[in-house]
Amino acid sequence: MRAAEQANMTGRGRVAKQMSLSLAPWIAAIALWYGVRLSGYVNESLIPAPHQVAAKFVELLLHEGLLYDVFASTRRANITAPRFRHR
């Protein structure tokens, strides 16, 4: 293997390692969420499954105007927020 190929491979390996390290906490949190839900210790009506939450989020985003509501709330908060001047 040439030095350039080896350097490129280590660069890709570094990116893959960084990506997997950044995704690991999210994957662990979702796995824990499913584990708690499926364990039976908590009533299923209190904790919906992650896929149900994701589906509802997409529905709200695409069909219920969630994006507009977030925009309107952010705009309202920015209008009413006090303005501080740096002196």
Q: pLDDT, tens digit, for every residue of 27-39?
A: 999 999 999 999 9
Q: Provide the residue range defining the domain that includes 75.
A: 48-87
Distances (CA, A) of 49 to 12, 43, 52, 84: 34, 12, 5, 43
Low-confidence residues of the chain: pLDDT under 50:
none
What is the model's pLDDT at position 1?
A: 52
What is the model's pLDDT at position 79?
A: 77
What is the model's pLDDT at position 7?
A: 53
- Are 36 and 52 in the same domain? no
- Are 39 and 55 in the same domain? no
What is the model's pLDDT at position 78?
A: 80
- Are 77 and 60 in the same domain? yes
**pTM as predicted:** 0.61
Cβ-Cβ contacts under 8 Å for 44 (sequence gap 6 or more): 37
What is the model's pLDDT at position 36?
A: 93
- Are 39 and 52 in the same domain? no
